[in-house]
């Protein structure tokens, strides 16, 4: 006896519509990039609050005033702003001294002081995201795509 072949064709319009919505969502990522920029800003604020993740070496000035490192007047923290477009999410600041605090380096008259890196942005010097931030961004991608397929 010869086996009978079974053939199934899916013509589900809902499934086709969901795939079309995913295609549209992947073309313009503005909503996702907005969320990512907010997540990056929140992670930056948390780095300031927790004095680094991993913890920064305390500054001499902070120890002297019994305060927090990179928080004397709050200008640096308040200057960090989120930005996004259809294909990018970023946080940054216009403060001239921001790079020095993020990456460390020579400061003071004639470079007489060496500051250690205090990465307040949620990336390392090599451009690696903090692990918990990376996980959150990936979770937001999954959520974004799930929501897009239901529109």
**Distance between CA atoms of 39 and 49, rounded to whole angstroms?**
15
How does pLDDT run across 1-28, given as a tens digit for each residue? 677 788 877 677 888 888 888 888 888 9
Residue pair 151/32 in contact by the 8 Å Cβ criterion:
no
**Distance between CA atoms of 65 and 45, rounded to whole angstroms?**
21
**Distance between CA atoms of 84 and 86, rounded to whole angstroms?**
7
How does pLDDT run across 35-88, given as a tens digit for each residue? 999 999 999 999 999 999 999 999 999 999 999 999 989 999 999 999 999 999
Residue pair 100/115 in contact by the 8 Å Cβ criterion:
yes
pTM for this entry: 0.84
What confidence score (pLDDT) does residue 94 get? 96
How many C-beta neighbours within 10 Å does residue 145 have? 15
């Amino acid at each position: 006896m010869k086996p009978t072949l079974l053939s199934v064709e899916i013509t589900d319009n809902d499934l086709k519509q969901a795939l079309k919505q995913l295609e549209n969502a992947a073309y313009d990522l503005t909503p996702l990039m907005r969320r990512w920029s907010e997540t990056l800003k929140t992670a930056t604020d948390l780095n300031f609050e927790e004095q680094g993740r991993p913890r920064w070496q305390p500054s001499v000035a902070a120890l002297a005033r019994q305060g927090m490192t990179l928080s004397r007047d709050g200008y640096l923290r308040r200057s960090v702003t989120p930005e996004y477009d259809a294909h990018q999410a970023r946080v940054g600041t216009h403060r001239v001294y921001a790079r020095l605090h993020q990456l460390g380096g020579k400061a003071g008259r004639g470079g007489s002081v060496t500051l250690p890196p205090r990465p307040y942005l949620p990336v390392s010097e090599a451009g690696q995201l903090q692990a918990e931030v990376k996980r959150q961004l990936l979770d937001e991608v999954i959520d974004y795509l799930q929501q897009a397929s239901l529109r």
